[in-house]
Amino acid sequence: MKKLYWIFLIGSAIIYGISFLCSEYLWWLVFIFPVPLLYITRQVNLSFIHGYVWGLFVFTLHLSGVMYVLICLSRETWAMGIIAGSIIILYQALMPGFLFWCATRINQFFILPIKAQLLVWNIVLWLFIMWIDWYSMWIFGIKEGYPLMHPLIPLSQKPALLCLLPYIGKQLVTIAFLFVPTSIVMMLWCKNYKTVLFFCGAIAPWIVCWWWGAKVNMQQACWHKKVKALPMMICSTAKNPAVAIKIAAHHLKNIVATYPETEIVIMPESAFNMSNFADLSELLQWWHEDYIGKKIHFIFGASRWHEGCYYNSLHWVYNGALQGCCDKRHAMLLSERLPLWIDGPIMQQLYFNQSCPIAISSCKRDKLVLPECGEFVPYICSELFFNEFPDDEYKDIPVIVIINDSLFSVNVWSLYIQKLLVLLARFRAIQWQRDIVYVSYAQSLFIDRHEVIHEINK
């Protein structure tokens, strides 16, 4: 075992990464990744170095797509993107190193029996999951984590497994998740009927959820058939925004002709590179029923200046007239904001030489009341992903979320992030018990709170 424990340790980290990178087929591996790690704790005192190496493999795999995005954002100075990504990985690996060290010291100090030691290691894994999910990015100025690494996210591939999520909460489901690998390790260690019973008890809730989710037929909403997506980015020179307006009008006209039932058309985040729609009332007449053939609600993402601040916003136009804007309440690191401790001329030139940093709105999140179509709550990209709980007061109203995932579609190394974003949105629909209209450049989906997904434009 002493010669093989490094293989077990690194194998655990690789399995953890693969279950996310290839989640469509290997989602079930997420149940297995703690097994090699927990198995070797019986004979090996894992140190800070062991935890740090494990963390390096884990974060290198999970953040490979993020690394690529940082390189793309750095443009000609791509080496800065590599350095920034490497620093993030080296920093994140400190926490598993520290947690491994703490677990070993606790077990040695109290001379715990083997089952108690296994409990300590389960607590360590739970703390690691909590740290990554909620707190790991605090060093960059905001108390938040990286939710795409939570081990429950791949299980969204089989959403019936998560049917207990809205009833018992994310933390209890996570604990139930950790019982499965723990029971497998106990069987490998002890090989008696008690451990077999423990294993059966650990997997029983998941089997029941799978069976129950397959049996229950929920009443599905049908209003999503009135919603269509226009998943494209329309750019225009600052001197001639009319070109972009007319291009969009042409596509709207085609959508209405193809789908006469259309009432709402949605474009993704940052669909237009213009920031002055409030001053374009005459041009917006191209989106009037006289040209496109029908009164429709047109929702899209574009930046705007308001009271001296530059916001990433969702715009709502009805029948050729701007009805309102919703400004984003969360800004993504590097692509939309810089932390105070690196916000200097060099970083400004590197990441915002062609645009301005995004201001974070402090306004209350209001709902969109669309005549003859219903009510919706707008979210812009990371607002959905980084909010553990809804930050609006409309519990049962469907959510419209517009996403800019264009950076993740350039290279195969980052395509997996697009899929994880959909899985996380599916997770939020179950967790929040809210229907979600999800519109990005890669996919446009209606995600039912009862685990069903429909492609919008079909």
Q: In this predicted model, what pLDDT tens digit does every residue of 206-254 receive, in sequence order?
A: 999 888 776 655 555 677 889 999 999 998 776 789 999 999 999 999 9
Q: Which residues pair with 337 in a beta bridge?
A: 333
Task: Tell me the residue type at 337.
Answer: R
Could you tell me if 251 and 272 are in contact, meaning their C-beta atoms sit under 8 angstroms apart? no
Rounded CA-CA distance 19/136 in Å is 21
Rounded CA-CA distance 318/182 in Å is 55
Structure tokens at 285: 């007449």
Give the residue among 364, 365, 374 at the shortest CA–CA distance from 398.
Answer: 374
Orientation of helix 94-110 relative to helix 78-92, angle to 10°: 10
Higher pLDDT, 45 or 457: 45
- The model's pTM: 0.93
pLDDT at 110: 86
Could you tell me if 306 and 361 are in contact, meaning their C-beta atoms sit under 8 angstroms apart? no
Q: How many CA atoms lie less than 13 Å away from 172 in the CB half-sphere?
A: 10
Structure tokens at 147: 């939710």
**pLDDT grade, residue 135 (50/70/90)?**
very high
Could you tell me if 185 and 41 are in contact, meaning their C-beta atoms sit under 8 angstroms apart? no
Pairing of strands 264-266, 227-229: parallel
Higher pLDDT, 59 or 344: 59
**pLDDT grade, residue 370 (50/70/90)?**
very high
- Collapsing DSSP to helix, strand or coil, 234 comes out as strand
In this structure, the number of other CB atoms found within 10 A of the CB of residue 68 comes to: 22
**Residues 6 or more apart whose Cβ sits within 8 Å of residue 173:** 152, 162, 164, 165
Helices within 322-450 (DSSP H only): 345-351, 382-385, 415-432
Q: Is 274 exposed, middle or buried (0-12, 13-18, 19+ CB in 10 A)?
A: buried
E strand intervals along 277-416: 297-306, 309-318, 321-327, 368-370, 374-380, 399-402
Tens-place pLDDT, residues 275-317: 889 999 999 999 999 999 999 999 999 999 998 899 999 999 9
Laid out side by side, the sheet with 264-266 consists of: 227-229, 264-266, 297-306, 309-318, 321-327
Rounded CA-CA distance 442/21 in Å is 17
Rounded CA-CA distance 213/143 in Å is 35
In this structure, the number of other CB atoms found within 10 A of the CB of residue 457 comes to: 13
Residue 70 backbone dihedrals phi, psi, to 5 degrees? -60, -35
Give the residue among 145, 136, 167, 170 at the shortest CA–CA distance from 155.
Answer: 170
270's enclosing H/E stretch is none
CA dihedral 22→85→233→400, nearest 10 degrees, is 70
Structure tokens at 432: 């929040």
Average pLDDT over residues 345-354: 70
Is residue 326 over pLDDT 80? yes
Tens-place pLDDT, residues 391-436: 999 988 999 999 999 888 766 667 899 999 999 999 999 999 999 9
Could you tell me if 315 and 301 are in contact, meaning their C-beta atoms sit under 8 angstroms apart? yes
Is residue 83 over pLDDT 90? no
Give the residue among 322, 404, 444, 381 at the shortest CA–CA distance from 73.
Answer: 404
**pLDDT grade, residue 372 (50/70/90)?**
confident
pLDDT at 266: 97
Q: Which residues pair with 314 in a beta bridge?
A: 301, 326
Rounded CA-CA distance 93/108 in Å is 23
Could you tell me if 140 and 6 are in contact, meaning their C-beta atoms sit under 8 angstroms apart? no
Task: Tell me the residue type at 372.
Answer: E
Rounded CA-CA distance 219/451 in Å is 11
E strand intervals along 149-290: 227-229, 264-266
Structure tokens at 377: 């709550």
E strand intervals along 182-296: 227-229, 264-266
Report the helix count and the strand count for the chain, using DSSP H and E.
16, 11
